[in-house]
Structures are given as C-alpha cells and as structure tokens.
Amino acid sequence: MSPRTSVYRFAQRNRWHGRPGKVLNNFNRYWHLFVPYMTPRKFTNLLLAHAEMIAGRACPSSKPYMLRIEPINRCNLRCPGCSTGLGINPRPAGLLDVNNLQRVLKQIAPYLCLTRLDGLGEPLLHPHICELIRTVHEAGSAVALSSHLGPNTLKPGQARELVESGLDHLIVSIDGPDAETYAKYRVGGDFHLTCEHVREVVAAKRACGSVTPLIDIQFLGFDHNRHLADRMPPLVRNLGADRLTCKMVDPDVLKERKAVDFRRHRCFWLYTTWSIACDGDRKLCPNTFTDTFGLPNAFAPGNDLTKDQPLLQAARRFLAGDRDFSHTDPLLGDSKTRHQPWRLPRGPEACRCFGCASTGMVIDRSREWIRDYVCM
C-alpha cells in the first residue's frame, strides 16, 4: 500500500473535532490533502505563515500555501445564498485558461500545498476542468473542488476522467435527505441526478483502484433543514461517499456587529491564501470574488505573485492592529466606519474586511452566517 493510499484511508476512518470556530475543525477536513504533497520547504513556510499570523505581522516573510482560483463564474443553479445564483454577480462570465493557470503555478508551486478549483460558479461546467485539475496535480499540489454535481455537470465517461486527472477531494453539495428538502435551496438542481452522479464517481474510483478523490458530502443547515441533519449519514453511506460535512447556519446571523467589535482580529486568508478570479483579478480573500480591489492582475506578464502587496499589508495591519483609521486605505475603511454596522454594501465608504468574523467567512456569499461544521 502506497503512503498516499494509507493517508487517505486513515482520513476516511478518523474524525477529530474542536469547539466551533477552532482550527482543529479545518485541520480535520483538509490535513490528508497536505501530507502526500508536503516537502521540507513547504512545511517550513506553512509553520512560519501561522506564526506570523499569530504575531500579527503586517509584512510577513512567509508566502501563502493555498491557492483558491476560480475556473468559471457561472452556474446553472439559482441558489438563493449565492450572488451568481441570485443574478447579482457584477463580473462578466468568464473561463480560466489553462495557460494562465500554468503561469500562476510556475511562480507559486514551491510553496503550494492545496489548490481549490472553485469560486462563484460550478467548476464542472468548465469544458476543460479535468485538464485544469491535471495541471495543478502535476505541479505538486493537492486539488479540491466543490460541485453541486447536478444537471450538465458530469458527461458520460467523465467520472473516470476526474479520478484519473488527480483530483484529491470532491465536495458535493446535498442539503437534504430527500428531493423536496434539497430543492428548497438548490433551486434548479436535481436530487436524484446528483445522487446518481456521486455513485458514478464512486464506481469510477473502484474501477481505477483509486482512493481519491475523497468524496465529501456537504450539508448546509438552515432553518428549513437543520432538523434533518441526522438523516444524512444513512444517505451518505448508501451513496458510497467517504465523508459527511455539516455546516450549520448560526441562528444569530442577523445580529448587528460594528467595526470596533473586530479589534485585534487575525485574518487567516490574508496570510495563507492566494485568491484569484477566472479573469486573473486578485482578491483579498476567497470570500470576496464579487469585489474589486485594484491588485495587480495575476495573469499579467511580469507580475510577481510572491511579492507582497501594499493593500494586503494594510489589510493585515488594519485587522490585527489598533484600528487607527487615520491612515487607512479607502478600500479597507475609514473613520466613518468605526461605529457603522458591518452588514453594509462594500464600497469606499464601508470597510470590506468588516464583513468577516472570527472564522473568516464573509456575508456576500451566503447572506447568512455559517458558524461551524461538524464531520459525521
């Protein structure tokens, strides 16, 4: 048995849990992705990134070790908690070109442990998604993506191609144990087709003798379905999936918070993740794909992604410091935002980073607060 196979089988059997919002929960979900691709240089950089995040360094010497890059920004579902599903995503429809992906990977591969190929769109609608996965895999990074795996996502024979491309982790959104519950949030989706597609990927894994991708069924718990979470484990076992992840929406979502509530907050994303839209537009974090920050385009010739940017430094200093609004970049906020509610539209007059609470999840995606997840 190869070391990679041993790691993934151990991940399927073992679960560790921390209290809501703890790093242990994220570790539980993703650790198995890092191990097979880890090198001494990557491991040293990862430890340094977290040490500098804890210290609140505005100008870290470490590099991010994760990449969140968007293959496509359109979707064929109309989920009410997604800007694409609601039809309010201001960016034009686009596709990630494999040459641009290669340009990015060439710069950051020495530090890269994990790549998420998803954003504000359905990644399997990209006509060359398997080529993108293979490109990342061959660059020495783990690959994960999240899909509704519903209509028009899995073409005949594509399940085997996904397995053989090097995909490590497949997150499939199923927010209910039956079609009626599922359809309340996944508007335009097909519960039975999604389940059938999961079984196709499971069958493809068996046919290839592969332990990857680890199939992770994700359940978002809202008021209409949270009471049905205990019916999800039998469904997951019946599908042959490897894991169930439940993300429960905090009932206290509408509580008003103000800028001063986030004093001394350390932002995980600003130290650990390159966030890039399908057109190369760089973001402050993976939860701000609808925003524009004026950072150098990731695909532009001569742009060095390993070079830190003044705006990122200002964001780290702003979030981890003493809230000195007198010298703050307008994109982050100004003195007017000190006592304003954080649930404001982003703009020069309202801080972008104040839409973020301690877990790093941002409101513009879901409009409701995802407090934590528990693997079952």
Q: How high is the mean pLDDT of the chain?
A: 80
Q: Taking residues 336-354, what's their average pLDDT?
A: 40
Cβ–Cβ < 8 Å for 286, 27: no
With a cut of 80, say whether residue 33 has pLDDT above it.
yes
Rg (CA), the chain: 20
Instruction: Please state, for a pLDDT cut of 70, what percent of the chain lies above it.
Output: 72
Q: Is 5 exposed, middle or buried (0-12, 13-18, 19+ CB in 10 A)?
A: middle
56 confidence band (pLDDT: 50, 70, 90): confident
With a cut of 90, say whether residue 18 has pLDDT above it.
no
Q: Taking residues 225-241, what's their average pLDDT?
A: 92
166 vs 345, higher pLDDT: 166
Structure tokens at 345: 């539209």
Instruction: Give me the pLDDT at residue 2, please.
Output: 61
Q: How far apart are CA 90 and CA 238, in angstroms?
A: 40
Cβ–Cβ < 8 Å for 101, 143: no
Reported as a single tens digit per residue, the pLDDT across 135-176 is 999 999 999 999 999 999 999 989 999 999 999 999 999 999
Instruction: Give me the pLDDT at residue 359, please.
Output: 30
With a cut of 60, say whether residue 364 has pLDDT above it.
no
Instruction: Please state, for a pLDDT cut of 90, what percent of the chain lies above it.
Output: 53
Would you identify the CATH topology of the domain 3-254+267-322?
TIM Barrel (3.20.20)
Q: What are phi and psi of 290, to 5 degrees?
A: -85, -10
Sequence-ordered list of residues with C-beta below 8 angstroms from that of 14, at least 6 positions apart, any chain: none
Instruction: Give me the pLDDT at residue 151, please.
Output: 96
Helix axes 232-239, 191-208, angle to 10 degrees: 50
Q: How far apart are CA 192 and CA 372, in angstroms?
A: 27
When mean pLDDT is compared over 98-102, 215-219, 285-289, the highest value belongs to 98-102
70 vs 26, higher pLDDT: 70
**What residues does each domain of the chain span?**
3-254+267-322
Q: Is 81 exposed, middle or buried (0-12, 13-18, 19+ CB in 10 A)?
A: middle
Helical residues (DSSP H) of the chain, grouped into ranges: 3-13, 23-34, 40-55, 98-108, 129-138, 158-165, 179-185, 191-208, 232-239, 268-272, 310-320, 363-366
Q: How far apart are CA 356 and CA 333, in angstroms?
A: 13
Q: How far apart are CA 245 and CA 119, in angstroms?
A: 19
pTM of the full predicted structure?
0.84
Cβ–Cβ < 8 Å for 218, 146: yes
Instruction: Give me the pLDDT at residue 361, please.
Output: 30
Instruction: Give me the pLDDT at residue 78, please.
Output: 92
Q: Name beta bridge partners: 144.
A: 116, 169
